[in-house]
Each structure stands twice: as C-alpha cells, then as structure tokens.
Amino acid sequence: MSVRRAYLDRSVGETRGVVTLDGRPERLLVARDGDTPCRPGARYAARVRKVEPAFASAFLDLGDGVEALASFKPDSRPVEGATVACEVRTESRADKLATVRILGVEEGVPRLVSAAPDLEAQLREHVKDGAIVAGPEARRMADEAEAEALETIHPLPGGGTLAIEPTRALVAIDVDLGERKGADAKRVTRQANLAALTVAARLLRLKGLGGIVVIDLVGRGHDGTALLNAARAAFAPDNPGVAIGPVGRFGTMDLSIPRRGRSLTEIVNGPDGHPSDLTLALRMAREAETQARLDGGGQVAVDCASILEPVSAPLIARLVETVGARVSLRTHADWPRSRYEVRTS
C-alpha cells in the first residue's frame, strides 16, 4: 500500500509544501509573498468583458487588472457586462490566461470573494488526517524535492534513465535502458517501460507539468494492454481529466494531463531559463536562516552580487526581525549574479 506524507517549510518570503509517495517527493507546492491571489480554488465576482461565441469562451474581468477565460455551453452563454460568480480552475502561466468556472450570478464590482486554499489546506487534501511535518526535516525534504524537480534526467529503479523535457507544444519523455541488466531483452524492456510509467507520473506531478505528454518507450513489440493498465494506475491521482492513448506504431504513448498551476520552472526560473533574482535571494535568505538557527549565538554574514541587493535586502531585513541583528548583508559589484556566500562566526 502506498504511503503519502506531508511536509511544510515556512521561510522568509516563501512557503513550500511537499507530499512524498513512499518516501520520494511527489508534489512540491510553492507560495511566495506577493503571489497573485488568482490561484485554483479562489472565488471571484467578475464582469463579463467580452463573449466569443465561435470559441464558446468569455473573457472575464476579475478586478485589479486581472483577466481570466471561461468556457460555456450553448445554453448558458453569459451576457457581456453582467457580473458573475466564478471559481479559478487553473492558474495563469506564460502567455496563457487563468481559466475559471462560472458558478452563477453575482452583484457588485469585480473583486476577490474568497481566497484559494493555503498550502497547509492543499497538503491536507493529499494526506487527510496525517501529521504535517515542519522544522528542519521539512526544509531538507523541500530542498531535495526542488533539486529533483529541476533535473532533466532521472534514474529508473533497476537501471536505465528517464528524461523529461517540456516544450512549447508538449512534454517529451524519453525512456533509456542504459546499463539495465538482464538476459531476456524483451523482459528487460518491459520492466523498464512499466517502471518508467510509474516514475514519470510521480515526476510530472512533482514538476507541475501537464498538457499533452508523449512518452517514447524503449524497445518494440510492446504489451499494449499491460502498459495501458499500468499508465491508468500511475496517473490515477491526476484525475479527473486524464486521457491516455494506446501505444502507437512508433512505440510512443500519448497522454493528456490537466494543468492546474504553474510548473516549478515557471516559478523559480526567469525568462532566460536560469534561477530568477528572487529565487536566488530566497535561497540565500533561507540558508542564512538555517545557519542562524543552528548557531544560536553566532554571527551570520551574507555576501552576494550587487545586482541582487534590491530583492535580497528586504528579505534579510525581515530575517533580522526574526532571529536578531546578528545577520548582516554585504554586496559586491564584481560578483556574478549567481554567486552568494553564507558564513557563520
């Protein structure tokens, strides 16, 4: 029987929640100060700005310059200018608007009516009445989950690897036997593919990826029924909305997995694909906080590139309010953006 556990790490400027499946990170939830409240589960009063009958969609004004997209059935077409009640289904990402579900009529100006569930409530959805671990163990688990989620190539149990690479159109997954051992080649490839489906499902949830997914299975002459059953079991936690196609003539399996939030890379990376200034500053502040708590009376010196000062200085100032004035920040104009150091004395 699979066992899920939950961890909650609160740090300056960021909260991270982790769900593990049999000891391995399965979900990583990240909430940062200043994040948009337009997150799955939030409810709004929204004005119908424009209706597009040809696409059965309506553009809604949620207030504060936030816009969302709602689909409708022919017999429930909204009226332009009307105010409706709606609930956020998927978060906005890249160049995509958030999507919402219209619940009924509403009155008043566009506004947030009720906030989305916080991270602790989201974790409860996955572990029910289980304890949520906090403290150093939660931080360690969150760091491990983030590191794994940002990798591209992942090992398979028993040997071989799985490479997960998102593109603009879809998520491509490649299964590689590597040095997986076995005398019976057909059995080896079958085991690798079955393992790959289980690992891929966990990693896609961890990375926050969805949409169209194409898995390039290894070998040929696949047992399509066994693979389809394995895929249904592996991706069952992502329902409702999962669609799985049969193994095709070229040895690939196509899936459609609902997107409900931003992927981890969209949260932590900038447009250049590298960690954003805020991500680097949060990591630095988190490390400084860890060191300060480990050494209750020592001084903690934080050094970073000058370009990070606008985002790092406020975080360090908040950290000082928490652990005391023994944390200091110094910036260096000649340091590269990604360099920072945290020292104790």
Same domain, residue pair 181 and 134 = no
Same domain, residue pair 189 and 317 = no
Domain stop point among 264, 297, 332: 264
Same domain, residue pair 47 and 100 = yes
Domain around 295: 275-344
178 lies in some domain: yes
Same domain, residue pair 254 and 309 = no
- CATH number of the domain encompassing residue 101: 2.40.50.140
Same domain, residue pair 130 and 108 = no
- CATH number of the domain encompassing residue 229: 3.40.630
Same domain, residue pair 171 and 83 = no
Same domain, residue pair 242 and 162 = yes
Same domain, residue pair 13 and 135 = yes
91 lies in some domain: yes
Domain stop point among 244, 264, 284: 264
Domain stop point among 98, 129, 145: 145
72 lies in some domain: yes
Same domain, residue pair 8 and 141 = yes
269 lies in some domain: no
Three-class secondary structure assignment of the chain? CCCEEEEEEEECCEEEEEEEECCEEEEEEEEECCCCCCCCCCEEEEEEEEEEHHHCEEEEEEECCEEEEEECCHHHCCCCCCEEEEEEEECCECCECEEEEEEEECCCCCEEEECCCCHHHHHHHHHCCCCEECCHHHHHHHHHHHHHHCCCEEECCCCCEEEEEECCCCEEEEEECCCCCCCCHHHHHHHHHHHHHHHHHHHHHHHCCCEEEEEECCCCCCCHHHHHHHHHHHCHHHCCCCEECCCCCCCEEEEEECCCCCCHHHHHECCCCCECHHHHHHHHHHHHHHHHHHCCCCCEEEEEEHHHHHHHHHHHHHHHHHHCCCEEEEEECCCCCCCEEEEEC
Same domain, residue pair 55 and 179 = no
285 lies in some domain: yes
Q: Token digits for 198?
A: 């289980």
Same domain, residue pair 283 and 190 = no
Same domain, residue pair 175 and 228 = yes
* Averaged pLDDT in 10-residue chunks for the chain of 345 residues: 91 97 95 94 97 94 96 92 96 89 95 96 89 96 97 94 95 90 80 96 97 94 92 95 94 94 94 95 96 87 97 96 92 96 92
| 21: β partners | 4, 24
Provide the number of structural domains found in the chain: 4
Q: Token digits for 295?
A: 């050494």
- CATH number of the domain encompassing residue 297: 3.40.1260.20
Q: What is the dihedral of CA 16, 21, 22, 23, to 10 degrees?
A: -20
270 lies in some domain: no
Token match 């260096």: residue? 332
**Distance in angstroms (rounded) separating the CA atoms of residues 74 and 181:** 57
191 lies in some domain: yes
234 lies in some domain: yes
